[in-house]
Amino acid sequence: MFLIDQWVEKHIKDAQEKGDFDNLPGNGQPIILDDDSAVPEDLRVAYRILKNAGYLPPALQDRKEAIALDHLLQTLEDDDPQFAVAEKRLRVLQLRLQQAGMNTDFLHGHYKDVLRDNFRGK
């Protein structure tokens, strides 16, 4: 074991003995682990840190924003001033996603239709 590992283990043991971990949220409950089997083993720690910090890769952030804008556009009237702004932003995001190689059918309901057809055996 490396020196740093021994140092960390000692500090964790000291904190346990002092009871520093006794009143943490979720104490005594099982840990729910995410399935990260598709992530290479050497990147799992880094991905988990980024995920816990709320970071999303740019393409996924754009996808999330596009879905939110699509839902917003469904609630707005065509003559609403926000409609034109949201529609332009959605088109920009759609182009950016397509340039990144992502399929944008999820914005048009095609994905839902394909899934329904697959479940029906068509």
Q: What count of residues does the chain have?
A: 122
Q: Mind listing the pLDDT tens digit of every residue in the chain (122 residues)?
A: 688 889 999 999 999 999 888 888 888 888 777 777 777 888 888 888 988 898 888 888 898 999 999 889 888 888 888 999 999 999 999 999 999 888 888 787 666 666 677 778 76
Q: Whole-angstrom Cα distance, residue 87 to residue 76?
A: 11
Phi and psi angles of residue 120, each rounded to the nearest 5 degrees, phi first: -85, -5
**H-helix segments, the chain:** 3-18, 44-52, 58-75, 81-99, 110-120
> Tokens 């699509």, residue?
70
